Homo-oligomer: A and B are copies of this chain.
Amino acid sequence: MTVTDVATRTYNHNFRLDPIVRSLLDTDFYKLLMLQMIWRRHPDVTATFSLINRTRSVRLAEIVDEGELRAQLDHARSLRFTKKELIWLSGNSFYGKARMFAPDFIGWLSTFRLPGYELRKADGQYELVFEGPWACTTMWEVPALAIVNELKSRAAMRDRGRFALDILYARAKSKLWEKVARLQALPDLAISDFGTRRRHGFLWQRWCVEALKEGLGDRFIGTSNVLLAMDADLEAIGTNAHELPMVAAALAPDDAALVDAPYRVLEEWRQHYNGNLLIVLPDAFGTKAFLAGAPDWVADWTGFRPDSAPPVAGGEQIIRWWRQKGRDPREKLLIFSDAMDVDSIEETYRHFHGRVRMSFGWGTNLTNDFQGCDPDGGAGLDPISLVCKVTSAGGRPAVKLSDNPAKATGDPAEIERYRRLFGVPAYQARAVRV
């Protein structure tokens, strides 16, 4: 006898929306760490975040329906932190530390909602812009990216039959498990999920996280996704992002203050956080310039996250600098997180094993690798290089140079000015796939 739950079936018929983001915790942990500092120290700073699709060949506005996009963004704006979520943020330990988030900050979060957005189409792309207080707009980065990426996935799968989808996910599961099996061969691996923003979809990210937990055990050290960390009792992973030095630099009154901005940001950070949260992200305006000008105390920090240099070269550059500063790299941590996949993880792991502590943040190639999985072929599920960057702060343009010239963002004249101050890129441009 077939038993059908008629109530559920009827309810399912009436779905108006299948929401992509259903919790304000469905974001990266570093956003919350940064948010607390921004809220405490820069409550009056305004910052504009903008969606940027670096994969211009994918004309998103012709793929993703505007009405659906607005409905998803509007739904995200309707979200509030729930009591359970705030209690967990207050009561949980992060990076071994209790009470990471101050009671007054938690109190402010209880009233938080995502601010408004401006959306229009231009040249086949969406212009999606978030303007307002930095402490509000910063929180759009991850949900905006997750929404656009999942709507793109849904569009690619819209005409697929039930069976094609079955094969699609069977292949994707098999593919990820082959990667897990290869990673099992690296005994001292420490790896975390950094794939929220570029994920194929929320449920798929959750499956990927479960796969790593199952397959890698303690070598899977956690996820950047706060909601998944809470639900699966995993460590929430993340420290800080380029927006901190970018905003500080944009606000700098003169060139001297601009050149000093990356270090001022670290000064602020260490007044809020310590231990394994003292991770330097050195590449906002080029790692070479950053290291050349860095005060001695920066070498006391726990580690670096080289995020746009080639991993081996970038890691060696930092190790050399630690040695120059008289520090033992074996006591230091390197976090690799730029477009990593199993090949580059293996290569980097083997190159540095025993010479430095390492961990890996695995993003797009963990949560959105469907290449070769679609039985109907096509590239509709290929990930794109979509980012949501701070583009101005306090009304002044924000710039990122990065170690990969192909990743530079900002007004061209400002980029030129920053290059005069920080020097030309030390690395060749590398194609940005994701």
For residue A173, which residues in chain B have a CB less than 8 angstroms away from its CB?
166-167, 170-171
A169-B170, A170-B170, A174-B170 as given contacts; A211 in contact with B163, CB under 8 Å: yes
Q: Are B163 and A214 in contact (CB under 8 A)?
A: yes
A3-B8, A5-B8, A8-B3 as given contacts; A170 in contact with B177, CB under 8 Å: yes
A5-B5, A161-B214 as given contacts; A171 in contact with B177, CB under 8 Å: yes
Does any Cβ of B come within 8 Å of A7's Cβ? Answer: yes
For residue A171, which residues in chain B have a CB less than 8 angstroms away from its CB?
170, 173-174, 177
CB distance from A347 to the nearest CB of B (A): 25
CB distance from A161 to the nearest CB of B (A): 7
Task: Give the distance in Å from the alpha carbon of A181 to the alpha carbon of B376 in the complex.
Answer: 11
CB distance from A408 to the nearest CB of B (A): 40
Does any Cβ of B come within 8 Å of A188's Cβ? Answer: no
Q: Which of A156-191 contact B (CB under 8 A)?
A: 161, 163-164, 166-167, 169-171, 173-174, 177, 181
* CB contact between A167 and one of B3, B163, B177 (< 8 Å): that residue: B177
Q: Which of A346-380 contact B (CB under 8 A)?
A: 375
Which residue from chain B places its CB closest to the CB of A163 in the assembled complex?
B214
Q: A170-B170, A170-B177, A171-B174 are in contact. List 18 more A-B contacts (CB 8 A).
A: A3-B5, A3-B7, A3-B8, A3-B11, A5-B8, A163-B211, A164-B214, A166-B173, A167-B173, A167-B174, A167-B177, A167-B211, A170-B173, A170-B174, A171-B173, A171-B177, A177-B375, A181-B375
For residue A5, which residues in chain B have a CB less than 8 angstroms away from its CB?
3, 5, 8
For residue A3, which residues in chain B have a CB less than 8 angstroms away from its CB?
5, 7-8, 11
Total A residues in contact with B, Cβ cutoff 8 Å = 21
Chain A 26-66 near chain B by CB (<8 Å), digits 1 or 0: 00000000000000000000000000000000000000000
Which residue from chain B places its CB closest to the CB of A178 in the assembled complex?
B171
Does any Cβ of B come within 8 Å of A267's Cβ? Answer: no
For residue A174, which residues in chain B have a CB less than 8 angstroms away from its CB?
167, 170-171, 174
Interface centre among A3, A8, A167, A181 (most CB of B within 10 A): A167
Task: Give the distance in Å from the alpha carbon of A375 to the alpha carbon of B181 in the complex.
Answer: 9
CB distance from A162 to the nearest CB of B (A): 9
Task: Give the distance in Å from the alpha carbon of A164 to the alpha carbon of B210 in the complex.
Answer: 11
CB distance from A321 to the nearest CB of B (A): 42
For residue A11, which residues in chain B have a CB less than 8 angstroms away from its CB?
3
Q: Which of A203-237 contact B (CB under 8 A)?
A: 210-211, 214
CB distance from A308 to the nearest CB of B (A): 34
Task: Give the distance in Å from the alpha carbon of A177 to the alpha carbon of B166 in the complex.
Answer: 11
Q: Which of A300-328 contact B (CB under 8 A)?
A: none
For residue A375, which residues in chain B have a CB less than 8 angstroms away from its CB?
177, 181
Which residue from chain B places its CB closest to the CB of A173 in the assembled complex?
B170
Task: Give the distance in Å from the alpha carbon of A177 to the alpha carbon of B167 in the complex.
Answer: 7
